[in-house]
Amino acid sequence: MNTVANLTTRVEKLVGSDRVRASETALQEFAIAGRAPLAVLKPRSAEEVAEIVSFAAAEKLTVVPCGSRSKLELGMPPQRYDLALDMIDIRQIAHYDPGDLTLSVDAGIPISELTATLAGERQFLPLAVPFNATSTVAGAIASGIDSALRQQYGPPRDFLIGAEFADSTGKLCKSGGRVVKNVTGYDLHKLLIGSLGTLGVITRLNFRTFPLPELQGAHLATFPTMETALNFHASLLKSGLPFSNLELFDSEFSVLLAVTLDKLGGSASGSLTTGGWHVFASFEGSAAVLERIARELRKLAGQAQAAHNETLDLQRTQLMNEALREAFDWLRRAAPGVGLLRIVLPQIRSGDVTQLLNLSQPAPLRSAFVLRACNVAYLALLVDTEDASTKTALERGVSELSSRVEAAKGSATLLHAPLWLKDRINVWGAKRPDFALMQRVKQAFDPQNIFAPGRFVGGI
């Protein structure tokens, strides 16, 4: 029988005692939904990761890779949680070829560090994800969290060109490569995106980089009703104008956004506190391009009878981009009890949104709604106390919303919820027809189920 003390000694032999932590405080830092690992290991290299996985496989221990630990709450807590891998010391830039627009980086490098390096070459990686200050690049990929720039640059699957990872046999494997166009072998790296560590431990990621835009601009329009805001939103999508981000939100969301903006830099909130519905559009390019887009936006907003309509200066544009990028973080903290749903509907019509919002109206629920780029909506159900009746209302609201969305052939994922709610509701929603194929993928990658068991869709 392996005791915990025994385990600590043995993993210390594997990576050295300075790379193992087993104190109560350390273990709690890595806890997921109150569940702590038996030990935290901090590998120094990809090879060491592979050795640890090999050891875990032989000992039938489970492994959960961690970066900055900002998004560990996503999905379900692991059914078993033996070893936490703290990946933040594996953080080199392995290759960066600005002329080729390719970048190869270790899993644990913080995105903010990459941003600084790339900016030196007037390039960037369009991963505009929450927890920008701390999030590691592999955490951003493995969590599958939405990037605020996907309207223009696509989701990470469009610019992740290769990966290296430790597989369940403890070997380092790779997929893709370091060139921007490549169809050699199966695209296994695409499977890692959003997989929450259930297929392997990512050790390195290869990306296509992009030139930094010359200038950025944005436009904010306010509408008295949801219908007028949605009409304007639809007219923007039809206009063919290139937007780097496009978000439509209700008054509750805009109040929360205003609070965030004030924290970030003072009086940026302006028209956000006046109520109504808002449409925010950001764009980039040369001065002539910015001027043209801003002009057309003002015209379209006028036609859509916007109550208020303004082109933002560079500072306010950047503040808004930053605040919206972090929306996942501040929405989940917006009230003592929050159920944050990520909803993908076949298409967003005003009727659909009305239906969604009506469901969340019964007191004591409040809701904040944002329609983000590419048909992804976030709906936060908020309760100000956590007594029995509010708990019931929150649970009912979340489950009714999920079933409505599923009936409309959409999908609803619970990104954040209090622990008691996660225990009662399937955060991933109903199983989809391709679930059996996902199980085959998991079985092929991880037949012993040692990687983050139970965190993913359908209990994978």
Footprint (CB under 8 A) of other proteins, residues 3-32? none
Q: Scan residues 377-436 and list those touching other proteins (CB under 8 A).
A: 409-411, 413, 428-429, 432-436
Q: Rounded CA gap, 85 and 21, in Å?
A: 11
Query: In the bound complex, what is the minimum distance in angstroms from residue 323's beta carbon to other proteins?
Result: 23
In the complex with other proteins, which residue's Cβ is closer, 214 or 384? 214
What the block records as the tokens of 262 is 């004030």
Burial group, residue 184, by CB count within 10 angstroms (0-12, 13-18, 19+): exposed
Q: Scan residues 64-103 and list those touching other proteins (CB under 8 A).
A: 97-102
Query: In the bound complex, what is the minimum distance in angstroms from residue 242's beta carbon to other proteins?
Result: 7
Q: Rounded CA gap, 7 and 84, in Å?
A: 13
Query: In the bound complex, what is the minimum distance in angstroms from residue 15's beta carbon to other proteins?
Result: 21
Distances (CA, A) of 390 to 120, 363, 369, 381: 51, 9, 19, 11
Q: Which strand (E) or helix (H) includes residue 26?
A: helix 24-29
Q: Is 260 in the site for other proteins (CB under 8 A)?
A: no
What the block records as the tokens of 346 is 């076949």
- Of the listed pieces 125-133, 152-160, 261-269, 298-306, which binds other proteins according to CB under 8 A? 152-160
In the complex with other proteins, which residue's Cβ is closer, 82 or 164? 164
Q: Which strand (E) or helix (H) includes residue 232?
A: helix 226-239
CB 405, CB 342: distance < 8 Å: no
In the complex with other proteins, which residue's Cβ is closer, 183 or 388? 183
In the complex with other proteins, which residue's Cβ is closer, 69 or 372? 372
Sheet hosting strand 39-41, strand order edge to edge: 20-21, 39-41, 83-86, 63-66
What the block records as the tokens of 220 is 């904010």
Query: Which residues of 294-409 form beta strands (DSSP E)?
Result: 308-312, 337-344, 366-371, 376-383
Q: Rounded CA gap, 435 and 167, in Å?
A: 21
Could you say which of 169, 303, 354, 358 contacts other proteins (CB under 8 A)?
A: 169
Q: Rounded CA gap, 231 and 248, in Å?
A: 11
Q: Is 58 in the site for other proteins (CB under 8 A)?
A: no
Q: Scan residues 439-458 and list those touching other proteins (CB under 8 A).
A: 440-445, 456-457
Query: In the bound complex, what is the minimum distance in angstroms from residue 412's beta carbon to other proteins?
Result: 9
Which amino acid, residue 158? Answer: D
Query: In the bound complex, what is the minimum distance in angstroms from residue 76's beta carbon to other proteins?
Result: 12
Query: In the bound complex, what is the minimum distance in angstroms from residue 422's beta carbon to other proteins?
Result: 15
Q: What residues are paired with 102 via a beta bridge?
A: 97, 208
Query: In the bound complex, what is the minimum distance in angstroms from residue 59's beta carbon to other proteins?
Result: 20
CB 421, CB 28: distance < 8 Å: no
Could you say which of 13, 44, 60, 171 contacts other proteins (CB under 8 A)?
A: 171
Distances (CA, A) of 27 to 43, 140, 211, 263, 413: 16, 23, 41, 32, 28
Q: Scan residues 226-255 and list those touching other proteins (CB under 8 A).
A: 240-242
Query: In the bound complex, what is the minimum distance in angstroms from residue 169's beta carbon to other proteins?
Result: 7
Could you say which of 38, 345, 394, 421 contacts other proteins (CB under 8 A)?
A: 345
Query: In the bound complex, what is the minimum distance in angstroms from residue 184's beta carbon to other proteins?
Result: 4
Q: Rounded CA gap, 201 and 192, in Å?
A: 9
Q: Scan residues 265-324 and list those touching other proteins (CB under 8 A).
A: 285-286, 288-289, 292-293
Q: Is 158 in the site for other proteins (CB under 8 A)?
A: yes
CB 12, CB 41: distance < 8 Å: no
Q: Is 172 in the site for other proteins (CB under 8 A)?
A: yes
What the block records as the tokens of 181 is 């166009």
Binding mask 106-145 for other proteins (x = CB under 8 A): ----------------x-----------------------
- Which residue from 407, 425, 408 is spatially nearest to 416, judged by alpha carbons? 425
CB 205, CB 99: distance < 8 Å: no
In the complex with other proteins, which residue's Cβ is closer, 119 or 133? 119
> With CB under 8 A, what is the number of residues at the site for other proteins?
77
- Of the listed pieces 8-16, 82-90, 249-257, 343-351, which binds other proteins according to CB under 8 A? 343-351
Q: Scan residues 175-214 and list those touching other proteins (CB under 8 A).
A: 175, 177-188, 190-191, 193-195, 199, 210-212, 214
CB 332, CB 314: distance < 8 Å: no
In the complex with other proteins, which residue's Cβ is closer, 182 or 318? 182
Q: Is 351 in the site for other proteins (CB under 8 A)?
A: no
Could you say which of 48, 73, 106, 167 contacts other proteins (CB under 8 A)?
A: 167
CB 355, CB 229: distance < 8 Å: no
- Of the listed pieces 131-139, 252-260, 333-341, 370-378, which binds other proteins according to CB under 8 A? 370-378
